[in-house]
């Protein structure tokens, strides 16, 4: 039930606009053979891309139970770690795919909610002027609720989405009953004949056909929340049958009434059911949008922990489910961009031109990464790997190439969003590398420094000082400032480095490494996976009984708050250095990110030129 509500909300609402966009383009003449051909293409697109590629193959590529593009990227990059050039290229490709997720995260809520509210135009043309304002009000309400979390209403997502799938299936059945001959389109013969007779038209309409599989990436992304079995069971028993019945119902309606092409989904329903149907469709699209928003929060957190984005304020919205988080900056940045999309494009048909290109690029990247996982992580023969992923590559590339034709009609919009996020991610990663190199170049060896300090030791005060350091074995700036200005050293001193790894989870039994440096000083390494929640005080409790006892009331955390100063010379381009300096300045404090107690944190600043 949970998988139905969260995983399939996006793909479940594609029935609102997919068929309309294919036939509404005017490129496909209304003949029975063309209707059979298009419906057959829909059915086999769902079968090949979703049923075979994602549900059967890609779901097998779990990374310690987790899925999604970052998990797949982690698997692929680890599999080729002995090939540094290949690994570097795969990381760039995977991060670009992750960046495009944000483009999808903008277009999906915009087109879904807008297409649902457009049902009001079918109820009465008088409602036309109200479509945009109502859409924006619904979207504002959705984003305003995010700070409260979805734990309260999340339990209704599954049942409501199940009602949606039941309703769209019944709508389809009622139309199929009037023209049962439409079921002939289940045969691949009609798809092949249409493509053979209309190769140019087929290539063009693939950009609209792909709308029926938008949301397929969510199957893999939500693997860690539900597991393979519920996702597969929900797809084959409920979701796919309901989608196929509705698509074929729309085809049956068009056979009898070609004029219904202006909105075949709503025109399938009796007039008296239209308002309730608009309401149900709006609820379904809000649930679909919620899954994308939650996914954006999760992907951002993973990117931060892998070092591709600066720290952002993260709030937990549930005491039981640690995966339920809220990022205020991401939430409102998404909302502003979605409002921009709705106001710019003004209709679901115009947005459909912008939709698809980001999805197709992500599907293509997933196929490429899957090849490297199957070949180098699972060690299957090369011929089998090419056979397994080659077909999907050809299909994905055909959809991708078709969508490129929509580039100037709106496809540039999600690409611009993805490109902007990609620039930020790569700039941050490269800037952090340069900054760490600068710190290492100016660093003082910690063991040697401590030996020199304790030849003539400063005054020792009660309590424990925890100095955060980016690199183990070097003297943190905070320690130098503390000795310079306060001229004291605590009774116990911990030099703590937090390491984030390209795996989803690291258990508490592998969380800490501790090494004694003498003089009641210890070097501590704390390890986290990209799905773990960072809670440093909790992790450090494991030190008890290993020669060091921590008392929260007498423990202070010393952090270095560095100010980055861009300079002319080696490194990045000047504009990227300025961008990195700004991102570094605006990054959320390490104290919040590591869940440190506010009344125990001391920040000492310094300037670093890059």
Q: Give Cβ neighbours of residue 310 (< 8 Å, ≥ 6 apart).
A: 304, 428, 583, 584, 586, 587, 588
CB of 589 closer than 8 Å to CB of 311: yes
pLDDT of 187-244, one tens digit each? 999 999 999 998 998 998 898 899 898 888 777 877 777 788 888 999 999 999 999 9
Q: Which helix (H) or strand (E) holds 521?
A: strand 521-529
Strand, coil or helix: what is 486? coil
pLDDT of 247-267, one tens digit each? 999 999 998 888 888 889 999
Cα–Cα distance, 415 to 407 (Å, whole number): 9
Q: Please give the backbone phi and psi of residue 378, each rounded to the nearest 5 degrees, phi first.
A: -95, -10
Q: Which helix (H) or strand (E) holds 518?
A: strand 512-518
Strand, coil or helix: what is 8? coil
Give how far the C-alpha of residue 15 lies from the chain's centroid of Cα atoms, to the nearest Å. Answer: 23
Express as a percent the part of the chain with pLDDT over 90.
33
Q: In this predicted structure, what is the pLDDT of residue 320?
A: 58
Strands (E), 430-485: 459-468
Q: What is the token pair recorded at 372? A: 């490297």
pLDDT of 378-398, one tens digit each? 888 999 999 889 999 999 999
Cα–Cα distance, 423 to 311 (Å, whole number): 16
Looking at the predicted structure, is the pLDDT value of residue 322 above 60? no
Cα–Cα distance, 182 to 82 (Å, whole number): 54
Strand, coil or helix: what is 596? coil
CB-CB neighbours of 223 under 10 Å: 22
Distance between the two ends of the chain, CA-based, in angstroms?
Answer: 52
Q: Give Cβ neighbours of residue 99 (< 8 Å, ≥ 6 apart).
A: 418, 419, 421, 422, 425
CB of 205 closer than 8 Å to CB of 282: no
Cα–Cα distance, 157 to 92 (Å, whole number): 35
Cα–Cα distance, 286 to 145 (Å, whole number): 12
* Cα dihedral: 189, 191, 196, 202 (round 10): 180
CB of 474 closer than 8 Å to CB of 445: yes
pLDDT of 31-69, one tens digit each? 888 999 999 999 999 999 999 999 988 888 877 777 788
Residue 302: band (very low, low, confident or very high) from pLDDT cuts 50, 70, 90: confident
Q: 215 in the Ramachandran plot: left (φ > 0), alpha (ψ -120 to 50) or beta?
A: left
pLDDT of 554-599, one tens digit each? 899 998 877 888 887 767 888 898 999 899 888 887 888 888 888 8
Looking at the predicted structure, is the pLDDT value of residue 337 above 60? yes
Read off the pTM: 0.85
Express as a percent the part of the chain with pLDDT over 70.
98
pLDDT of 269-292, one tens digit each? 888 888 999 999 999 998 888 878
Q: What is the token pair recorded at 509? A: 């039994």
Looking at the predicted structure, is the pLDDT value of residue 151 above 70? no
- For the ranges 14-28, 94-108, 390-404, which has the lowest average pLDDT? 14-28
* Cα dihedral: 218, 222, 223, 225 (round 10): -160
Looking at the predicted structure, is the pLDDT value of residue 154 above 70? no
Looking at the predicted structure, is the pLDDT value of residue 323 above 80? no
Question: Which residues are paired to 560 by β-bridges?
Answer: 604
DSSP 236-300: IIIIHHHHHHHHHHHHHHHHH-GGGGGSHHHHTS-GGGHHHHHHHHHHHHHHHHHHHHHHHHHHH
Q: In this predicted structure, what is the pLDDT of residue 553?
A: 87
Q: Helix 69-79 to helix 357-372 angle, to the nearest 10 degrees?
A: 30
Looking at every residue in the chain, the average pLDDT score rounds to 87
Q: Which helix (H) or strand (E) holds 467?
A: strand 459-468
Domains of the chain plus CATH, in order, are: 2-29+56-182+201-356 (1.20.1740.10), 442-609 (no CATH)
CB of 132 closer than 8 Å to CB of 306: no
Looking at the predicted structure, is the pLDDT value of residue 185 above 90? yes
Residue where the block lists tokens 């100037």: 408
Top-confidence residue, 531 or 42: 42
pLDDT of 400-459, one tens digit each? 999 888 888 888 999 999 999 999 999 999 998 888 888 777 778 888 898 888 888 888
């Amino acid at each position: 039930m949970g998988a139905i509500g969260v995983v399939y909300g996006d793909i479940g609402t594609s029935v609102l606009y997919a068929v309309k966009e294919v036939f509404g383009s005017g490129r496909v003449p209304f003949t029975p053979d063309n209707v059979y051909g298009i419906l057959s293409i829909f059915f086999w697109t769902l079968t090949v891309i979703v049923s075979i590629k994602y549900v059967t193959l890609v779901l097998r590529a779990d990374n310690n139970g987790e899925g999604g593009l970052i998990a797949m990227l982690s698997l692929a990059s680890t599999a080729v770690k002995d090939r540094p050039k290949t690994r570097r290229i795969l990381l760039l490709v995977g991060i670009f795919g992750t960046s495009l997720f944000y483009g999808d995260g903008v277009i999906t809520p915009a087109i879904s909610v807008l297409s649902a509210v457009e049902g009001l135009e079918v109820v009465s043309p008088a409602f036309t002027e109200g479509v945009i304002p109502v859409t924006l009000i619904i979207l504002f309400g959705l984003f305003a609720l995010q700070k409260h979390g979805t734990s309260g209403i999340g339990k209704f997502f599954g049942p409501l989405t199940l009602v949606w799938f039941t309703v769209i299936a019944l709508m389809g059945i009622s139309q199929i009953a009037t023209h049962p001959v439409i079921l002939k389109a289940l045969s691949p013969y009609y798809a092949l004949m249409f493509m053979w007779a209309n190769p140019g038209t087929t290539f063009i309409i693939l950009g609209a056909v792909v709308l029926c599989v938008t949301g397929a990436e969510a199957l893999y992304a939500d693997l860690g929340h539900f597991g393979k079995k519920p996702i597969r069971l929900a797809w084959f028993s409920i979701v796919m049958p309901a989608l196929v019945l509705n698509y074929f119902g729309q085809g049956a309606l068009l056979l009898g009434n070609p004029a219904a092409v202006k909105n075949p989904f709503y025109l399938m329903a009796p007039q008296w059911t239209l308002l309730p149907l608009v309401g149900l469709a709006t609820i379904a699209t809000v649930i679909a949008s919620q899954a994308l928003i939650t996914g954006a929060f999760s992907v951002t957190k993973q990117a931060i922990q892998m070092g591709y984005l600066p720290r952002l304020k993260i709030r937990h919205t549930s005491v039981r489910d640690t995966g339920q988080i809220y990022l205020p900056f991401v939430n409102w940045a998404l909302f502003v961009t979605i409002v921009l999309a709705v106001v710019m494009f003004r209709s679901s048909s115009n947005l459909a031109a912008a939709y698809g290109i980001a999805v197709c690029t992500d599907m293509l990247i997933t196929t490429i990464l899957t090849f490297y996982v199957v070949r180098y992580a699972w060690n299957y023969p090369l011929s089998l790997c090419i056979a397994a992923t080659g077909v999907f590559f050809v299909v994905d590339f055909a959809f991708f190439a078709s969508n490129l034709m929509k580039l100037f009609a709106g496809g540039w919009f999600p690409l611009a969003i993805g490109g902007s996020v990609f620039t930020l991610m790569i700039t941050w990663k490269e800037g952090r590398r340069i900054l760490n190199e600068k710190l290492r170049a100016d660093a003082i060896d910690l063991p040697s420094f401590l030996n020199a300090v304790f030849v003539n030791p400063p005054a020792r005060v009660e309590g424990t000082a925890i100095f955060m350091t980016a690199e183990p074995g070097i003297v943190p700036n905070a320690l130098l400032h503390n000795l310079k200005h306060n001229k004291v050293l605590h009774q116990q001193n911990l030099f703590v480095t937090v390491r984030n790894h390209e795996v989803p989870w690291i258990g508490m039994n592998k969380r800490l490494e501790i090494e004694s440096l003498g003089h009641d000083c210890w070097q501590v390494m704390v390890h986290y996976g990209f799905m773990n929640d960072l809670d440093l005080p909790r992790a450090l409790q494991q030190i008890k009984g290993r020669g060091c006892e921590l008392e929260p009331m007498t423990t202070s955390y010393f952090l270095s708050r560095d100010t980055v100063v861009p300079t002319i010379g080696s490194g990045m381009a000047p504009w990227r250095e300025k961008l990195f300096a700004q991102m570094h300045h605006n990054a959320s404090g390490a104290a919040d990110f590591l869940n440190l107690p506010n009344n125990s944190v001391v920040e000492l600043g310094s300037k670093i030129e890059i």
